Amino acid sequence: MKIAPSILSADFARLGEEVAAVDAAGADYIHIDVMDGHFVPNLSFGAAIIKAIRPASGKPFDVHLMIDPAAPYLQDFADAGADIITVHAEADKHIHRSLQLIRGLGKKAGVSINPGTDESVLAPLLDDVDLILVMTVNPGFGGQSFIDSQLEKIARVRAMIGERAIELEVDGGIKPDNIKAVADAGAGVVVAGSAVFGGGEYQKAIAQLRAAAE
């Protein structure tokens, strides 16, 4: 199980240090939630912040764009140092074009779906994505509770992926007491915000999540 700490739960006053700390603590990816106050009811940060913290870690930057529209900003996030760029199926009228553009920029292309979105929207996209992100909370805020009904969706998406080289990532309310169920449903990457940053002992928290998944 890959662990992708979400810096939305980090101390923004020392963001570069926080990124370096979770890198050293064993994070596989650095998950970066970009919110626009329009597609989701919150604002976070943009490409300039990602560029500023890029030197703090050599781990892949997993950039989750909760913005509408996303397409005009893909070049900016690629230039800032994103390695994986994920756009929402609900926010992009021309999703294939955006995914192809991300790959054309030399980055891995991801697509995300909200809890209320049926996974059938993913079927036409399976040959154009490197990562699928299933939200297990409604996006916009950290610290929300996991929506249990999404476990069956995760399993259905895992079946849709089949033998394709697509990573299945899950984001929202992941804790040591539910990560095993998420892993059993087929996830290979989990995003963890408060579960990593909330206790202050990042290495211990990441190790606990990984052990609980196994």
Which residues are identified as catalytic?
A: 33, 171
DSSP assigned state of 106: T
Under 8 Å between Cβ of 4 and 191: yes
Tokens found for residue 45: 């940060």
The set of residues, in sequence order, having a beta carbon less than 8 Å from that of 114 and lying 6+ positions away, is: 88, 90, 135, 138, 139
* Contacts of 174 by beta carbon, 8 Å cutoff, 6+ apart: 136, 146, 182, 190, 191, 192, 195, 209
Q: Which residues contact 76 (CB under 8 A, 6 or more apart)?
A: 46, 47
At 63 the three-state DSSP class reads strand
